[in-house]
Amino acid sequence: MNRNNNNIQACDLLSLLKRKLGAFKAFLSATALLRDADLQEMEKIETLIAERENCIKVIKGIDGGINRIKNSIPALPGEAMKKIRTLKKAIDDTAADAADLNKEFETMFISYHDDLKDRLSKTRNSRKGVKNYAIRAYGVNQPRFLDVRS
């Protein structure tokens, strides 16, 4: 019965690893869409970020299940170990691809943020220029408007 129980747990472990791979692929897909998104479409970006956060929660939940199974079985059958190694490699590769895409997006987003900050700063400084122009043009006193009907 112990051997049968190990086979069941091995099947459960394989199922969890497949779900984890699917979650990582969903994360990778959302990251690719995020990288290619127009940064001015904030609603779309927020949706993709929420989707990625959901994938991370799913992965963390799956990891908890994997750890429980791993700690409860002494050894897995050879065929199951081969499948587990294959799935683990696919998960690692997908996670690495997602990390690379994430770095690309972060670099692009930081550049966009810095550019936007510079433009806002220039706009704020132009207000000083307009104010100084008005003072030079009209002296210290601002122009007064007279009621010409009286």
pLDDT of residue 49: 92
Model confidence at 135, pLDDT cuts 50, 70, 90, reads low
Domain count, the chain: 1
**What are 55's two structure tokens?**
């994938």
Question: Cα-atom radius of gyration of the chain, to the nearest Å?
Answer: 29
Position 52 pLDDT exceeds 60: yes
- The span from the CA of 70 to the CA of 104, in Å, is 35
The parent domain of residue 19 ranges over 2-100
- The span from the CA of 115 to the CA of 121, in Å, is 10
**148 within a domain of the structure (yes/no):** no
**What are 105's two structure tokens?**
């997006």
pLDDT digits (tens, 9 = 90+) for 1-27: 456 666 777 788 899 999 999 999 999
**30 within a domain of the structure (yes/no):** yes
